[in-house]
Amino acid sequence: MITEAKTRPTESQTLYTRTANLWVNVEGTTFAYRDVGPREGAPLVLLNHWGAVLDNFDPRIVDGLAHNRRIIAIDYRGIGASGGTAPLTISEMASDAIALIRTLGFQKVDLLGFSLGGFVAQEIALKAPELVRKLILTGTGPAGGQGIDKVWSVSWLLMLKGLITFRDPKFYLFFTQSANGQKAAHAFLKRLKERKKERDKGPTPSAFLRQLKAITAWGRQMPQDLSLIKTPTLIANGDSDIMVPTVNSTELARRIPNSKLIIYEDAGHGGIFQYHADFVTKALAFLDS
């Protein structure tokens, strides 16, 4: 059963910041999502980062992609407006996403996973390859990848710095501290505040920590056989990612057979946000190829 907070948007140009919050019941758990863009074609499902909710998707990227693609942005179980308890494994998150996609009635989808979402997207591609048409992995890495299990030791000091300086920690975690990086950080964080009504609620401390445990376990997991991913794959990152070290993107490109790699200069974990216009252009070309 699908219930909606408002009438489903019908105009292909509906801006993400004004898109209705929707809910779908998946095997007894209510998942929150937003649906924007034209109705035809395989939808692009967005899977976001650690602690992220619907309002953490970059509206410039969503609007750019939604110009000619149907976009489904979701909250993970136990995060934001979704019900249930946040899973402790990436595998569970992937199973949730697969069930949600099928409940919405989609036979085939494209996936865009950022950071934690990239872990989930890889797992979906391995668990249900028949469901995935194309795969976009950004700011992410493989199971057992270099430094992934150290994300907390990298993050907590910069989270504290954000608290002390009255800045969102993403200013330090997602961007370089160069003039270009700082300018991009300010612009990105400003974009995340553009939605004024019916904003999603932030993650609870418990859900935040449970997701951290899932990320740490992924970083300590045995490597997977990524040669089994036959789906065409686009991989993107900044050249100075401190959260999921950039070498992991290079490793993904080496191990996934049919993949392309984009590395943005003077950019960190949020390289796709810093270079959002270029990323949207390249992502759309990849999806349409």
Cβ neighbors of 114 (< 8 A, separation 6 or more) are 46, 47, 48, 49, 138, 139, 140, 272
- The residue extents of the domains of the chain are 2-288
List the CATH code of the domain at 2-288: 3.40.50.1820
Identify the pLDDT of residue 10.
41
> What number is the average pLDDT over the span 147-153?
95
CA distances from 182 to 186, 187, 228 (A): 6, 9, 39
Identify the pLDDT of residue 14.
62
For 30-56, what is each residue's pLDDT tens digit? 999 999 999 988 999 999 999 999 999
Cα 270 from Cα 173, distance rounded (Å): 8
For 165-207, what is each residue's pLDDT tens digit? 999 999 999 999 999 999 999 999 999 999 999 999 999 999 9
Please give the mean pLDDT across all residues of the chain.
Answer: 94
Identify the pLDDT of residue 40.
87
Cβ neighbors of 204 (< 8 A, separation 6 or more) are none
Identify the pLDDT of residue 6.
36
């390859």: which residue's tokens?
A: 129
- By the 10 Å C-beta count (0-12 exposed, 13-18 middle, 19+ buried), 239 is classed as middle
> What number is the average pLDDT over the span 121-141?
98
